[in-house]
Structure 1
Amino acid sequence: MKLSIQKIFLVCFTGWFLTGCQDLLNPKPNNILSADIVLTSPDDVPQVRIGLYNALRGTAALSVVAGDLTADLAIHNGTFTVYNELSNKKILSTNSAAATFWAGVYNVVYIANFIEERLPGLAGVSTTDKNHLLAEARLLRGYAYFIGANTFGGIPLVTTTDVDANSNIGRSSKEEILAFALEDITQAIENLPDTATTGVGYATKHVARAMLARYYLYQSDWVQAEQFATQVINSGQYLLEPNFNTIVTQDFTRESILEVGYTITDDPGTSTYGLNNIFVGRREVIPANSFLLKIFSNESGERNLTVSFDVRNQRGNDNGFSVAKYGTSDEDNNNIVLFRLAEMYLIRAEARARQGKLTGANGAITDINVLRTRAKANTIVSGNQSDILTAIENERLYELAFEGHRWYDLVRTGRANAVMTTFSSNWKDTYNVWPIPQIEIQRNPALRGSQNPGY
């Protein structure tokens, strides 16, 4: 079994935070505040910290579902309506994945708010320890708001644990949410450690910088995206694995910056949103044929190890291929990677290409070829800016497939409609964001009449 003691810390308190996920903007105070999260003595601090990271896990699988099944990497192959809607581009506001993802985002927000409200006045905890946990809370809240805004558009900005206030709060704009997220992430850096003594399951300054690199990429701030990606690359804390297959078959690799881990007792593999369950066990979702044509190209090289083939599965519309990146609870690849070093090279390559920095040691081509060389793929010699940007789009598909990036990439670059209308005749502008879950509109009067257009 892969987990050491330091990694078990991340996963041993699953039960007590999950019970509050369902009623996220209007939590039951006797449930969450009194029973599930207690912060009345210094002894409670480690458990609350673990609860914060467990809440982050609640967003991980759904970010993969959103990023890759809303796009063109995968198709539905089973019986679950939730995946059929996403695959066939007939997404409804009642889609349970949307509701569960929304709940996951606000569970992180709620616990972070709880820490921010309760921790400063708690006696018996050193200022250093308080500042550290507050930084982690703000960082993960900022990340939750970042993925929430890029998934749903404008969403409620919840900054307290006040039940009455949170039960009737309207949407802030996407720009307002992202500005809040940026402030959270930026403020967190100062009080985060340079290295994590408890493993890559916990935040450090470099985790925050990796988040900022992605944030600024999404904002088209190429200078800042290049700067923060370079800081992470040059930190020396992370190393590209020599073989791409290591990324597929192992957890907590040397290039992992932040990932969420599981043990044999809490592996999500059999749940509706467990990645091994939907990709391998039930085969609810399989790689799309158009994706397979790309991943088996000479430009991809060994990145085709992301998928596996079994002729016994090849029947009807089933092409026989499966996603290989997520194993079962007794295998060494059931974690979900949120940030890794290869993405930093891709962020820097795109940022440099957008600035016209194409060649030389500090050019986009060099960064692309670092990953292609690792994958034993054809390298790039030259090209104009348009060619290089196309290569980077494809490189992100090869390298980051089934890690939850594709749909977000297509939307942020304005390429979604061009790519997706070719993939599916049902695609429309509506699907550049997910719907506000209907159940949240029913619960929260301030959300009524503010559904995303087309849903």
Structure 2
Amino acid sequence: MKKIIYTTILMLGLLQVSCKKFLEETNPTSITLSSYFKTENDFNLAVNGAYNQLRALYNSKSAWTMGEMRSDNTHYDYKSSDQAVATTNRYAVADFLDDKYNNQTPAKWNTAFNAISAANVIIDHIDDITLPATSRNSILGESKFIRALAYFDLVRYYGGVPIYPHAPLSRAETYIPRSSVQDVYNFIIADATDAAAKLNTPAFPQTGRATKGAALTLLGDVYVTLKKYDLAETALKQVTTMGYSLFPNYSDAFQLANKNGKESVFEIQFNTALATPQANTEASVYNFLPRMANTTVVTGVNYNSITTVGGFNTPTQDLISAYEPGDLRLDASIGIAEGTFNATDDFTATAVKSVVGYVAPAGKVGRPFPKKYLHTHTIGNQTNDDWPVYRYSEVLLLLAESLTEQNKGGEALPYLNMVRSRAFGNTANNITTTDQTALRAIILKERRVELAFENKRWLDLVRTGNAIPVMTAFGVKQKAQYSYLQSGSYNITQNRLLFPIPNAEILLNDQLTQNPGY
């Protein structure tokens, strides 16, 4: 896909050169990059197109396969009769058996570079016309935020990647080597900093576009990842002054009526009311359900999730057990589809039950599923839920972490306990210890249950240095429970902390090098 984007740009660039060389007049019916941007609305439409690229980056199968199924949060329903390439490749990612030929992990690479390409075209042509200063700042700020967000995803999942500060217009500009991880982070920081300087503070209810708060949250997240905790503290404390707050109940943050509300810092927009709803809907929840010929009992809509391959991103008992007694987030995040599996591992649901204290009755199976994104809808596999990228609760937890790492445990507690007191409905479960080692573990666990199914867990384990020990221990339990797992499953080494550069990209660009171990 990236090849298509860059080839198109290259062709447009060459057309511009050819026209100048051979023609006296410009064909009024042709559109090139140099002639497209004539009005402010042209730029606004291009920015909308760049936002659209983020949909596939954050809600696609690769996003939750790599962000959640790679971790101890979720697994999959094994179906012995389904050995399709896509299915087995997704199994492989979860089991640490994926290789450079895996067809489930390249989508993140492709969609991230599509977003970068879309942002670059806007940035490169921002001065094609004279824009009002406020409009120019907004267009540039949003474009740089999108570019920074896409590069942040790439560097964490793949390591160093090629940096494109401009849309390439030649083969030499397109096929370039990987930059160092540090250089990529420097590029992200520059973009996020500039975006924060250009964008306005949020006004509620928000429109779904990036704001100064979103850019500063991204910057704070980057600094926490780089262990520059003082800089993270500075960025994140600014966000706490911008009017964000937590909804009274955890589940409120995901209600359709609260889209882009006071707890939303940045979320990916979906709207089934648009003219082409299939391209504008969030339907991951259907992948998260067990494979069912009829989903009506669970979703209220009759849909066959066998043919569209349900059975993925299944909450693990390890995650369910991580919720403390009385934590209201458990029931808000996970539901139980009660019913039976047949001989071919397909499910028939007879009821939906609460996960809290659930014990399956005789003859029934209770299959957990993520329910925080399941709300009323009318068409199967088309829901109206947005996808959260940053919520205010994460700002508070990132700030608590940055303070803890600076040995400011006392200052960290109010931010941590704002999240916990909402989760329990009282202050009785507030944390009081200021011990740095204890707080590290508490905050990591708090992020796990607060941000479950938001594609954060694998990145958190890698960032905090816990991926190898945690996933090795988890793998031992998994292999003891599931006989279908191969002996080499969960062999987690340092090399497995990154995903392979897509092999097709290596073949396309001989300047790229593969990650070690692949």
| TM-score computed with the length of structure 1 as normaliser | 0.86
CA offsets 1:266-306 (integer angstroms, 9 cap, x no match)? 356999xx5223213412231122112113x2274434421
Are 2:284 and 1:275 equivalent residues in the alignment?
A: yes
What is the match of residue 382 of structure 1? 433
Any idea what SS the aligned residue of 1:157 has? Answer: coil
Contact 1:269/1:329 (<8 A) preserved? no
**Cα offset, 1:64, TM superposition:** 3.6
Determine whether 1:298 maps to 2:325: yes
Give 1:168 shift: 1.5
Taking every aligned residue pair, what percent have the same amino acid on both sides? 27
Structure 1 stretch 27-36 or stretch 391-400: which is displaced more?
27-36
Per mean C-alpha deviation after superposition, the further-off stretch among 164-173 and 308-317 is 308-317
Larger Rg belongs to: 2
Partner of 1:105: 112
**1:41-69, CA deviations, whole angstroms, 9 ceiling, x for partnerless residues?**
10422211111111222211244432212
Q: 1:24 to 1:88 in 2, by over 3 A?
A: farther
1:93 matched residue in structure 2:
100
> How far did residue 166 of structure 1 move?
4.2
The alpha-carbon deviation at position 254 of structure 1 amounts to 2.1
Match of 2:415 among 367, 382, 406: 367
The answer for unaligned runs of 5 or more in structure 2 is 16-29, 290-304, 347-364, 476-489
User: Bigger CA drift: 106-115 or 93-102?
Assistant: 93-102
CA offset at residue 23 of structure 1? 3.2
How far apart in 2 are the matches of 1:396 and 1:423? 18
Looking at structure 2, the residues matched to 244 and 83 of structure 1 have their Cα atoms a distance apart, in angstroms, of 30
Write out aligned runs for 1:5-404 (5 A).
Answer: 23-24=4-5, 26-27=7-8, 29=10, 39-42=36-39, 43-61=41-59, 62-77=62-77, 79=82, 80-123=87-130, 125-161=131-167, 162-195=169-202, 199-236=206-243, 238-250=244-256, 251-264=259-272, 265-267=276-278, 274-280=283-289, 281=305, 282-295=310-323, 297-298=324-325, 300-312=327-339, 320-327=367-374, 330=377, 334-359=385-410, 363-376=411-424, 378-404=429-455
User: For the structure 1 residues 289 and 268, does the alpha-carbon distance in structure 2 shift closer, same or farther, using more than 3 Å as the test?
Assistant: farther
RCO comparison, higher one (Cα < 8 Å, 6+) = 1
Alignment partner, residue 10 of structure 1: none
> Secondary structure in 1 aligned to 2:267?
strand
Shift in alpha-carbon separation, 1:348–1:72, aligned structure 2, 3 A: same
Runs of 4 or more off by more than 4 Å in structure 1? 24-38, 267-271, 313-319
User: How far apart in 1 are the matches of 2:125 and 2:385?
Assistant: 34
Residue 365 of structure 1 contacts residue 388 of structure 1 at CA under 8 Å; is this kept in 2? no
Shift of 1:28: 5.8
- Give, in angstroms, the shift of residue 150 of structure 1: 0.8
**Which string of whole-angstrom CA distances, capped at 9 and with x for unpartnered residues, describes residues 387-418 of structure 1?**
11111010000101111111111111111111
| One-letter amino acid matched to 1:285 | N
Tell me how far 1:216 sits from its aligned partner: 0.8
Give, in angstroms, the shift of residue 344 of structure 1. 0.8
Per-residue deviation, 1:186: 0.7
Q: Which moved more, 1:401-410 or 1:260-269?
A: 260-269
Pairwise CA RMSD of aligned residues?
Answer: 2.8
Q: Distance in 1 between matches of 2:32 and 2:451?
A: 35
SS at match of 2:75: strand
Deviations 1:122-177 (A, max 9, x none): 25x33432232112111211121111111100101112222413442110011111
Q: Which amino acid aligns with 1:325?
A: K
For residues 215 and 207 of structure 1, the distance between their equivalents in structure 2, rounded to whole angstroms, comes to 12
Query: What are structure 1's unaligned runs of at least 5 residues?
Result: 1-19
Q: Judging changes above 3 Å, is the alpha-carbon distance between structure 1 residues 444 and 208 closer, same or farther for their aligned structure 2 residues? A: same
Offset from partner CA, 1:93-140 (integer Å, 9 cap, x none): 1222321100111111111111122221225x3343223211211121
| Structure 1 letter corresponding to 2:73 | L
What secondary structure, in the 3-state scheme, does the structure 2 residue paired with 1:68 have?
Answer: helix
- What CA deviation, in whole Å up to 9, does each residue of 1:3-30 have, x standing for no partner? xxxxxxxxxxxxxxxxx65635544655
* 8 Å contact kept, 2:329–2:449: no
Aligned partner letter, 2:312: E
1:432 aligned onto 2:500: no
Contact 1:306 1:325 in 2 (8 A): yes
Distance in structure 2 (CA, Å) of the matches to 1:146 and 1:64: 16
**Match for residue 508 of structure 2?**
443
Q: Which residue of 2 aligns with 1:13?
A: none
| 1:326 aligned counterpart, secondary structure | coil
For residues 499 and 6 of structure 2, what CA distance do their matches in structure 1 show? 18
Paired with 2:386 and 2:430, the residues of 1 have a C-alpha distance of 30
Following the alignment from structure 2 to structure 1, what is the Cα–Cα distance between the partners of residues 74 and 7? 35
Equivalent position SS for 2:277: coil
- What TM-score results when the alignment is normalised by the length of structure 2? 0.76
1:171–1:379 CA distance, 2 compared to 1 (3 A): same
Residue type of the alignment partner of 1:440: E
Instruction: Pick which of 388-397 and 191-200 moved more.
Output: 191-200
Q: Which amino acid aligns with 2:313?
A: V
